[in-house]
């Protein structure tokens, strides 16, 4: 008999996790789990439930493996979806994949656990004896031990079932939407911890059944707080690495050198292979906000009001301001002003080949252009509606004759294949590449054709 697994939240993480779990197989090739994906009874939640429930992945993706697995799960009938929370009562494992925001631009940063705690309580009220509740969501350090565990204990007492009969564990996701979307779950390292030895064993058994642990062994940490900290710390490190490039970008452009060339030379050294590169700025749901979780947790959960986090404050400030540099570069290309100029943004997602506009640096860039008086239109093969800005999104690449400037703002594979000389024809808008999608050879070809094209991270003419 198949074990029952519920996934709470069918966003970019939860939807892929539901497919990964439903695709898990025994040694004999038999399905291990019957999976129910649960989302809120809202227009957005219902649309995700509808699509995944009929064998369609609810987000655009180039990962053919993921798309095939969704269809297989639908045909096999072991992945269904609903908005009915009563489904949690039948689950052997409940995986929590709901978002938690933090006011990362405020000083000090602040989070509100009310909605997240209420959603967790809905599980604690229903989870059967022996069930595992696995938190995959990124949460402030201390959330599981100091907020969720007390809620679980309280609900267990109210239901008069044995103490610790419902298990709690934390194992943060490292999902990377893109061409290896599904593999970022099934073929990637996992960290985990739990509230008891038994809970840890159940968690390890579950994760080992969906992850290739032979090549990507699990790592158990000593506490759930340690596991929570690992997630926000690794994302803070990544965000700091990106912020570090800001001043070198400006320096390189000012003194006439190519920072991409420089970073490639540095990457050959193994200890520096993960150095980042110039760009529009940091974006996405994790790197923008996650660094703020620990300073906020220090004061809100641990009452450590005197702890300072100067690096976190600086990297957040730098990353929020990075798109402004691209605005200044574009203004210079437009003779000092964007006022009244028609500007096409090629890409509004935060990441290449992904349709996720949450916390995209393109949003900051677009707002700054509008403030300068520029008129914005966007084209993104993965995005039909830019919810955060309400900007007009085109369904196909338009005539370049309509624009004074074209800015590449997301490194989609499709943009790397564009022949600018052919597309522009007789049109001569200026072209700014903020995400390195135009090759050196093609930049040279464009300039030979009289096209003004520049790149963030490179001095004029490079």
254-274 residue pLDDT tens: 999 999 999 999 999 999 999
Tens digits of residue pLDDT in 325-364: 999 999 999 999 999 999 999 999 999 999 999 999 999 9
Q: In this predicted structure, what is the pLDDT of residue 294?
A: 96
- Percentage of the chain exceeding pLDDT 70: 100
Q: In this predicted structure, what is the pLDDT of residue 392?
A: 79
CATH code given to domain 3-227: 3.40.50.720
Indicate if the pLDDT at residue 107 is higher than 90: no
CATH of 246-278+309-455, picked from 3.40.50.720, 3.30.830.10, 3.40.50.300, 1.10.1490.10, is: 3.40.50.720
Tens digits of residue pLDDT in 362-371: 999 999 999 9
Indicate if the pLDDT at residue 114 is higher than 90: yes
Q: Could you state, in order of their start, the residue ranges of all structural domains in the chain? A: 3-227, 246-278+309-455
Indicate if the pLDDT at residue 391 is higher than 90: no
Tens digits of residue pLDDT in 294-332: 999 999 999 999 999 999 999 999 999 999 999 999 999
Indicate if the pLDDT at residue 390 is higher than 90: no
Domains 3-227 and 246-278+309-455 share a fold: yes
Indicate if the pLDDT at residue 43 is higher than 90: yes
Indicate if the pLDDT at residue 13 is higher than 90: yes
Mean pLDDT of 369-385: 96
Indicate if the pLDDT at residue 63 is higher than 90: yes
Indicate if the pLDDT at residue 412 is higher than 90: yes
The count of residues in the chain is 462
- Percentage of the chain exceeding pLDDT 90: 96
> pLDDT confidence of 62, banded at 50, 70, 90?
very high
């Amino acid at each position: 008999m198949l074990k029952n697994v519920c996934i709470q939240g069918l966003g970019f993480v939860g939807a892929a996790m539901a497919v990964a779990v439903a695709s898990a197989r025994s040694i004999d090739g038999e399905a291990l789990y019957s999976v129910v994906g649960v989302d809120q009874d809202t227009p957005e939640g219902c649309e995700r439930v509808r699509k995944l429930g009929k064998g369609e992945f609810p987000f655009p993706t180039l990962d053919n493996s993921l798309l095939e697995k969704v269809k297989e799960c639908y045909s096999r009938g072991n992945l269904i979806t609903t908005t009915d929370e009563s489904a949690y009562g039948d689950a052997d494992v409940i995986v929590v994949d709901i978002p938690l925001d933090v006011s990362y631009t405020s000083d000090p940063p602040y989070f509100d656990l009310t909605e997240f705690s209420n959603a967790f309580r809905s599980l604690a009220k229903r989870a059967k004896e022996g069930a595992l509740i696995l938190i995959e969501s990124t949460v402030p350090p201390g959330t599981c031990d100091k907020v969720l565990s007390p809620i679980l204990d309280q609900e267990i007492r109210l239901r008069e079932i044995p103490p610790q009969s419902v298990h709690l564990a934390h194992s943060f996701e490292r999902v990377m939407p893109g061409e290896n979307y599904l593999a970022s779950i099934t073929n990637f390292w996992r960290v985990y911890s739990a509230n008891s030895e038994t809970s840890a064993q159940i968690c390890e058994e579950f994760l080992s059944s969906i992850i290739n642990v032979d090549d990507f062994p699990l790592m158990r940490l000593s506490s759930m707080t340690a596991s929570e900290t690992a997630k926000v710390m690794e994302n803070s490190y990544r965000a700091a690495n990106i912020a570090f490039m800001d001043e070198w970008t400006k320096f390189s452009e000012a003194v006439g050198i190519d920072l991409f060339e420089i970073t490639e030379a540095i990457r050959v050294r193994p200890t520096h292979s993960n150095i980042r590169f110039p760009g529009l700025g940091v974006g996405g749901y994790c790197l923008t906000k996650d660094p703020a979780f620990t300073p906020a947790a220090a004061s809100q959960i641990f009452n450590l009001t005197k702890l300072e986090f100067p690096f976190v404050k600086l990297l957040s400030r730098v990353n929020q301001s990075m798109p402004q540099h691209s605005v200044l570069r574009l203004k210079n290309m437009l003779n000092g002003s964007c006022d009244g100029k028609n500007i096409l943004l090629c890409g509004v997602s935060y990441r290449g080949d992904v349709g996720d506009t949450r916390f995209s640096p393109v949003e900051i860039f677009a707002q700054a252009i509008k403030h300068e008086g520029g008129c914005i239109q966007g084209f993104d093969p993965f995005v039909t509606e830019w919810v955060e800005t309400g900007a007009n999104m085109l369904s196909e690449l338009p005539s370049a004759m309509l624009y004074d400037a074209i800015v590449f703002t997301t490194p989609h594979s499709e943009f790397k294949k564009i022949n600018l000389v052919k597309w522009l024809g007789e049109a001569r808008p200026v072209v700014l590449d903020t995400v390195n999608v135009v090759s050196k050879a093609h930049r040279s070809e464009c300039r030979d054709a009289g096209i003004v094209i520049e790149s963030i991270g490179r001095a004029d003419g490079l």
